[in-house]
Amino acid sequence: MNKLDLLKLARQNLWRRKMRTFLTVLGVLIGTTSIVVMLSLGIGLDDVQKKQMERWGSLTMTTVRQGMVYDKEGNPQGDGKQLNDEAVEEIKNIKGVIAVSPAYDMGGEARFGRMEGYIQLIGIDAGVMDQLEFETTQGRLLKSEDRNVIVVGNQVINNFRDEKEIRRMQRDDMMMYDGPRHREDKDPTQMLDQRVSMLVRNGSNSEKKKLFNFTVVGILEGEYNEHSYQAYAPIDDIKKIRKYMMAGNKDNVNGNMVMERSMRVGSRSNERKKASSRSQDDYNSILVRTEDVEMTKSVSQGLKDMGYNCWSMADQLEGIEKTSRIVQAILGGIGGITLLVAALGITNTMIMSIYERTKEIGIMKVIGATFSDVYLLFLTEAGMIGFLGGLTGIGLSYGVSRIVNNVAMKFMGGAGASPEDLVNISLIPPWLAVFALGFAVLIGVVAGLYPAYRAVRLSPISAIRSE
């Protein structure tokens, strides 16, 4: 019996008992829908958490700082890992790294128009800024040929206040006002194409100071993320500022007075201080971008093993992913129980089919059907039930998932919700649909193994004589 005839015969046999077949398929449908929807909720939860983390910072970025390698007893091994040009080249050669930029950090008093305030300025390699996942809502990013320009975060403008605001704050303090102050966020686009002046004091003489002027050429995207309160300038400009700050002061490192932190580990503290010292030209940090989230985890761990101290948003995903896997396992198990019940229904249907078709099975064997033909016939019927139930179950799952997401958006979003706040708590990726269909067919075939075995064991003579 060829495979096409086998399929036609299996379809005809199922069609003869329409109601029984329908009820059995319905059981598989419900089971498939349950497991897909349950897993989609776990996948959606994981996706929502990742998107929320992405709003705070990039998952492919790692910030590297000076570190140290210690043995099992906590003793420093060799010299501390300094952040210099050699370190930059070393990190660039790590597999999976696609962009690297050294960075200097500094902060100080600044003026914007008539407003006074504070600015945190970070000098980076302007030529690779577009590769470090920076994006602007207005203006542009830094370019390699730029000088005396900056791009600012969305909240930088709120660090500046005019005299009226300062007087109001002082009046509130004098009145011992301890309630929440109402602060109206300023429009960050007011800074675009405007000048910001930073006041820098000489390290050897605090009375000696100088203004450095910058023009704002871009506003960074993200209302509240890791870049919101920072401004970025070409690193060559920051080097000039640092040179002025450190002029005549040999003890000034990286624009800040050296402050060694005691590790409070007895006699080892002096060794740790010595190992943690760094030169004036060392960078404060190195920004590293990798190909994807998984590569970020790998590169981050590799940098730690090399002795660097690094941090990335992707490091926080480990706990979230573990929780997500636990939730998916629980929800998938609940849906799996329903599919198991459906498998029992398939087994029952196929056994009943054997009792009703005993004589037919005997005739098939007498006219030349082999044991494998009979075996495959019943497995094909069971597999078709699983396929039909799985296919319709997937279609129903997408409908249920859409309803769940619409209801969730109404409750969580409301009328004034932004598009970023509207997320899907039920997410069915293509691989889940394929997996569910294959699993449903597998369940059907497995459920048909015992009935098929019983059909094969029937004696042809006894089967023909049965009524």
Tell me if 300 is assigned to some domain.
no
Whole-Å CA distances, 345 to 73, 223, 341, 348, 354: 62, 55, 6, 5, 14
In angstroms, the CA 228 to CA 178 distance is: 27
pTM for the full predicted model: 0.62
Within this chain, do residues 75 and 207 fall inside the same structural domain, yes or no?
yes
pLDDT for residue 173: 55
Within this chain, do residues 38 and 73 fall inside the same structural domain, yes or no?
no
Within this chain, do residues 251 and 355 fall inside the same structural domain, yes or no?
no
Tell me if 419 is assigned to some domain.
yes
Q: Which is it for the CA torsion 424, 429, 433, 436, positive or negative?
A: negative
pLDDT for residue 383: 87
**Domain-ending residue, one of 272, 291, 310:** 291
Tell me if 301 is assigned to some domain.
no
Question: In the beta sheet, which residues pair with residue 289?
Answer: 61, 99
End-to-end CA, the chain: 26
What are the respective helix, strand and coil percentages of the chain, to the nearest 5? 55, 20, 30
Secondary structure (DSSP) of 355-369: HHTHHHHHHHHHTT-
Within this chain, do residues 144 and 190 fall inside the same structural domain, yes or no?
yes
pLDDT for residue 358: 66
pLDDT for residue 416: 45
Tell me if 112 is assigned to some domain.
yes
**Domain-ending residue, one of 276, 291, 306:** 291
pLDDT for residue 60: 82
Within this chain, do residues 217 and 70 fall inside the same structural domain, yes or no?
yes
CB-CB neighbours of 446 under 10 Å: 16
Tell me if 417 is assigned to some domain.
yes
pLDDT for residue 460: 62
Strands (DSSP E) contained in 346-446 are none
Within this chain, do residues 163 and 251 fall inside the same structural domain, yes or no?
yes
Within this chain, do residues 84 and 156 fall inside the same structural domain, yes or no?
yes
Within this chain, do residues 129 and 173 fall inside the same structural domain, yes or no?
yes
Over its length of 467 residues, how does the chain's per-residue pLDDT go in tens digits?
566 777 787 778 778 778 888 888 888 898 888 888 888 888 887 787 777 766 665 778 888 888 765 556 666 555 667 888 888 999 999 998 999 999 999 888 999 988 888 999 999 999 899 898 888 999 999 998 999 999 999 899 988 888 777 677 666 655 544 444 555 678 888 999 999 999 888 866 667 788 899 999 999 987 777 788 899 999 999 999 988 888 766 554 444 433 333 333 333 444 444 444 456 778 999 999 998 878 888 888 888 888 888 887 777 666 677 777 787 788 778 777 877 888 888 887 777 777 666 666 677 766 766 777 777 887 888 888 889 999 999 999 999 999 988 888 777 655 444 445 556 788 899 998 999 899 888 888 888 888 777 777 766 666 565 55
Close Cβ partners of 286 (under 8 Å, ≥ 6 residues apart)? 63, 64, 65, 83, 87, 88, 91, 100, 101, 102, 103
Within this chain, do residues 238 and 372 fall inside the same structural domain, yes or no?
no
Supply the range of the domain harboring residue 379: 3-56+320-465
pLDDT for residue 258: 35
Within this chain, do residues 112 and 84 fall inside the same structural domain, yes or no?
yes
pLDDT for residue 310: 83
Task: Domain count for the chain, please give it.
Answer: 2
**Domain-ending residue, one of 291, 312, 342:** 291
pLDDT for residue 125: 92
Within this chain, do residues 256 and 354 fall inside the same structural domain, yes or no?
no
Tell me if 296 is assigned to some domain.
no
CB-CB neighbours of 342 under 10 Å: 29
pLDDT for residue 204: 66
Tell me if 299 is assigned to some domain.
no
pLDDT for residue 70: 58
Tell me if 257 is assigned to some domain.
yes
Within this chain, do residues 343 and 214 fall inside the same structural domain, yes or no?
no
